[in-house]
Amino acid sequence: MTWAGLLVPAVLLPAGYLALEQVLHRRGDAWPVARSAAVLAAGALLAVAASWPEAGPAGAGVAETVRHLLATMAAPVLLALSGPVALVLRVLPPRPRRVLVRLLHSRWARAVTWWPVATVLAASGAPLFYLAPVPHGLHGPLMVHTALASWLFATVVAGPDPVRGRPGAVTSTLALLVVAAVHGVSAKLWFAAGAGPAAELLFVGGDVVEVATAVAVWARWYRRTAPRPAAGPVRGRTSPGRGAAVPR
């Protein structure tokens, strides 16, 4: 598979996203700027992955690993944090929106967004890629599968997109632990099989994405358990020393 193909989603995802966002702005609706920044960053990482220079034979595994980390782990997580489904739902006219909602509520969609399923799908990527004897021709489809699984998983545990029965922060963290541990052990076993620096890079890169996803999960928890709606860290604090959360 040619890596240059990644330039297509690198351009189309942010372009489509920003076009939809313009529809919102034209009718006077607001949209969080952080989400637009996330989709732009996802596009940028895909572009970097597409144009990462070929290395010599010694560093070939390293270049390949950088692309995998960027395209199938980091970029999908950023895409999830940009909430593309929520944006589409906001922009679509009522009739097609109903179709999309019905699709999202379908048995199939609910099965893959059920967190244990999303966790297994996300955890399966690294061992399949690095430890299973997958024929070369299947690497392309496998990469697409891994990228989609990463996006789905990040959406379920952290993303702003609507998910029925989204797990709480603790369950999400435990699911993330499974994905991260499988990833780390796969990287070490790959190293044991002789992959060298590429495996170390895979290990560290996995940590970075894991920590970023965990921060997203807990930042969401932090926002949603705020003691008072719309109360900043300084404003709205009238009774210091108060313990439990005020029920809304």
Partner 1 sequence: MTGRSLVAGLLCGVGLAGFLDEVVFHQLLHWHHFYDRSTSTVGLVSDGWFHAGSWLATVAGLFVVADLQRRHALVGRRVAAGVLLGWGGFQLYDGLVQHKVLGLHQIRYDVELLPYDLVWNLTGALGVLVGVLLLVRRGRARA
Q: How far is CA 126 from CA 66, 76, 132, 152, 171, in A?
A: 14, 15, 9, 16, 22
Does residue 110 interact with partner 1 by CB under 8 A?
Answer: no
Site for partner 1 in 8-27 (CB under 8 A): none
- C-alpha 230, offset from chain centre: 27
* Separation between Cα atoms, residue 87 and residue 17, nearest integer Å: 8
Which stretch, 18-26, 47-55, 126-134, 222-230, contacts partner 1 (CB under 8 A)? 222-230
Per-residue contact track with partner 1, 121 to 160, x per CB under 8 A? ----------------------------------------
Which stretch, 12-20, 36-44, 74-82, 237-245, contacts partner 1 (CB under 8 A)? 237-245
Answer for which of 56, 137, 229, 240 binds partner 1 (CB under 8 A) is 240
Asked whether the beta carbons of 201 and 143 are under 8 A apart, the reply is no
Answer for which of 93, 94, 244, 247 binds partner 1 (CB under 8 A) is 244
- What's the helix, strand, coil split of the chain in %, to 5? 75, 0, 25
Does residue 180 interact with partner 1 by CB under 8 A?
Answer: yes
Tell the smallest beta-carbon distance from residue 245 to partner 1 (Å): 7
Does residue 55 interact with partner 1 by CB under 8 A?
Answer: no
- Burial label, 196 (beta-carbon count in 10 A; 0-12, 13-18, 19+): middle
Which stretch, 12-20, 109-117, 151-159, 220-228, contacts partner 1 (CB under 8 A)? 220-228
Does residue 185 interact with partner 1 by CB under 8 A?
Answer: yes
For residue 31 the two structure tokens come to: 């949209």
Tell the smallest beta-carbon distance from residue 162 to partner 1 (Å): 23
Give the residue carrying structure tokens 């963290």.
173
Asked whether the beta carbons of 202 and 69 are under 8 A apart, the reply is yes
Answer for which of 4, 233, 238, 247 binds partner 1 (CB under 8 A) is 233
Secondary structure class of 61 (helix, strand, coil): helix
- Total residues contacting partner 1 by CB under 8 A comes to 36
Asked whether the beta carbons of 146 and 131 are under 8 A apart, the reply is no
Cα dihedral value 41, 214, 110, 184, nearest 10 = 90
Residue numbers of the site for partner 1 (CB under 8 A)? Answer: 169-170, 173, 176-177, 180-185, 188-189, 191-192, 200, 203, 207, 210-211, 214-215, 218-219, 221-222, 225-227, 233, 240-245
